[in-house]
Amino acid sequence: MKNDCIFCAIAAGEIPSFKVCEDDLVLAYLDINPFSEGHTLVIPKNHYTGLLDTPADVLKEIILRVQKVAAHLKAALPCDGFNVLQNNGAAAGQTVPHVHFHIVPRYGAGGGEIAFANHEGKMDALAALAERIRM
């Protein structure tokens, strides 16, 4: 493994994967510990760690593949809906530092367990925060 990255090794065919589709730039394969049936990862074959260091032209191509794979999964599984997730940094739950998009098929009306716990926002705090971080 040239750079100790498991997803680079998968892209290079050095580690097997349950491939869903592949082209020159992008590979999609089943997550080995799926949240739901058909949980698929979409990665660029080149190594970037996350959203912020992936070049814009590459990112555009990846997200178009995510759309294509998601549409295919929805019809082929079939599933009722899907989540697209992309974690950045250990604090966000990223365990493999090679940028990847999760496509998580969802079944039924339930909503299920992918949950970010919301809390009620305080209007003055939100206003101050927006002022501080506005671009």
In the bound state with ligand AMP, the residue whose beta carbon lies nearer, of 55 and 89, is 89
Rounded to whole angstroms, the Cα distance separating 72 from 117 reads 30
36-95 positions binding ligand AMP, by CB under 6 A: 41, 87, 93-95
- From 29-37, 50-58, 68-76, 110-118, give the range in contact with ligand AMP by CB under 6 A: 29-37
From the list Zn ion, ligand AMP, none, which binds 8 (C-beta under 5 to 8 Å, kind-based)? Zn ion
**70: Cα within 13 Å, side-chain hemisphere:** 19
Catalytic residue among 39, 72, 98, 100: 100
Residue type, 23: D
Copy the structure tokens of residue 113: 């367990």
Residue type, 33: N
The answer to whether the beta carbons of residues 3 and 12 sit under 8 Å apart is no
Q: Is residue 22 part of the contact set for ligand AMP (CB under 6 A)? A: no
Rounded to whole angstroms, the Cα distance separating 68 from 22 reads 12
The count of residues interacting with ligand AMP (CB under 6 A) is 12
- From 30-38, 63-71, 105-113, 115-123, give the range in contact with ligand AMP by CB under 6 A: 30-38
Q: Cis peptide leading into 16, omega within 30 of 0? A: no
Applying CB under 6 A, which residues contact ligand AMP?
6, 15, 17, 31-33, 41, 87, 93-96
